[in-house]
Amino acid sequence: MKKKNAYLFGFIFLIISVVFTVMVKTFDVGVSTETPGYNIGFATINNAFHSLTGVNMSFYRITNVMGLISIATGLILAFIGFLQLVIRKSFAKVDRSFYCLGGTYVLLGLIYAIFEKVIINYRPIFMDGEIEASFPSSHTLLIFVIIATAIIEANRYFSDKKTLKTVLTVIGILYIIVSAVLRLLSGVHWLTDIIASLLISASITFFYYAVSKQEKGKHSI
């Protein structure tokens, strides 16, 4: 994929994310059937879907573990970047993608902090007796972005190993899909929370792809 196309897709998903967020805050705002007293956008769809799936704390715990595995993946990538610095003995010689990864992880933290303060939706259930911010699903966002950027890095550094690249890419994509589906079916988020996370994650991933791409040479995907 060309860098300009990656930027284009990044902007498209960014715009869709912003529009969708505004719609969640303004369209079909109604009372949550699960937590009376709290309003949600897309109330009809969200309430109906949550009534259909219910709550499954086993799925919730599985996705928590998947989130920890994703964080471990990010730490491994960060450690590889640190090793490059130690071996090459120069910040300038560390691959640019590792600096981009660091910036991406910081951006994830900022997004989390922003939506903890700017509440779009609250969770459909009480967690430990308290109601928490739910939009977007931070777990889905975290897993998607870390695993997707890891796939990009794997395709770069294993560019001459087609089978390995394919296997790692398929595993990564399935991991993202399974985590998003299980998080949705766990019932701790509204449907729109998961959709928003996927849109925002796609935007971040495309921007990462574009910014981290070397001027010489191409990603193999």
Domain boundary assignment for the chain: 3-212
Amino acid identity, residue 215? E
Question: What pLDDT does residue 214 have?
Answer: 64
Question: What pLDDT does residue 221 have?
Answer: 35
Task: Say yes or no to pLDDT of 195 above 70.
Answer: yes
Question: What pLDDT does residue 3 have?
Answer: 84
Q: Give percent of the chain with pLDDT exceeding 70.
A: 96
Q: What is the mean pLDDT of the chain?
A: 89
Lowest mean pLDDT among 19-23, 83-87, 109-113, 190-194: 83-87
Calpha distance 193→88 (Å, rounded): 43
Question: What pLDDT does residue 218 have?
Answer: 43
Question: What pLDDT does residue 62 have?
Answer: 96
> Is 144 in a helix, a strand, or coil?
helix
String of b and e for 193-206 (b: at least 16 CB within 10 Å)? Answer: bbbbbbbbbbbbbb
- Per residue in 62-107, pLDDT (tens digit) is 999 999 999 999 999 989 888 888 888 888 888 888 889 999 999 9
Calpha distance 47→33 (Å, rounded): 6
Mean per-residue pLDDT, 8-16:
96
Lowest mean pLDDT among 14-28, 77-91, 134-148: 77-91
Band (pLDDT 50/70/90 cuts) for residue 219 is very low
Whether the CB-CB separation of 169 and 155 falls below 8 Å is answered with yes
Q: How many residues are listed for the chain in this entry?
A: 221
- Per residue in 163-189, pLDDT (tens digit) is 888 999 999 999 999 999 999 999 999
Q: What is the pTM of this model?
A: 0.89
> Is 35 in a helix, a strand, or coil?
coil
Calpha distance 66→78 (Å, rounded): 19
